[in-house]
Amino acid sequence: MESPKIFLAWSEKRSGQVADALSEALKSVFRGAIIPVKSSDFRAGSGWFSSLQEEMNEALGAIIIITPENTMSPWLAFETGYFMIRSAPNDRSSFVCPYLFDLTIKAFTDPGTFFPYHLLLGHEAHKKGTYKLFSDLSSTLSIFPAWKSRVT
């Protein structure tokens, strides 16, 4: 059985750096049981958009990395919308999870932000929020992270 892919959606430099760090953390914590995919993994030039679409289609869901710089990013809106349309409200095998970096959920009470408030039941990018994100992924995907394999 092939490991499930999780798409890391990002836009702007800082969220790209967060995506890189989160990708490494997912690989380490889940020991290859989850394959993180980011748009920066594709080479520039011919065929990158079809490669992106293929990876988005194969991913079980997405972690949307939101920073103060990208709350109004059209590209992030595109990727978020794609996964929101794909994930049915009661389908636990597919998901869209915001990961807020240098933001809090309270920052999204402004109607000018494109993220629906109900979507923002995500995780803030600090130790406790990241642990909760990984725990939720473990539960949703029935994959045990490295720290749970040591618990008897």
Domain boundaries, the chain: 5-149
CA distance 111 to 127: 28
Q: Which residues pair with 99 in a beta bridge?
A: 65, 123
More confident residue, 44 or 20: 20
More confident site: 41 or 25: 25
Q: How many Cβ atoms from other residues are within 10 Å of residue 19's Cβ?
A: 23
Predicted TM-score (pTM) of this structure? 0.80
> What's the mean pLDDT when you consider all of the chain?
76
DSSP assignment of 94-138, as one string? Answer: SEEEEEESS--GGGGGSTTSSS-GGGG-SEESSHHHHHHHHHHHH
pLDDT, one tens digit per residue, over 65-105 is 988 898 888 988 888 888 888 766 656 556 788 888 888 76
Q: What are the Cα distances from residue 76, in Å, to 33, 91, 93, 113, 149?
A: 26, 22, 22, 12, 34
Residue with more model confidence, 33 or 89: 33
Q: How far apart are CA 69 and CA 2, in angstroms?
A: 35
Lowest mean pLDDT, pick from 15-29, 33-47, 131-145: 33-47
The CA distance from 109 to 1, in Å, is 42
On whether the 5-149 domain is CATH 3.40.50.10800, my answer is no
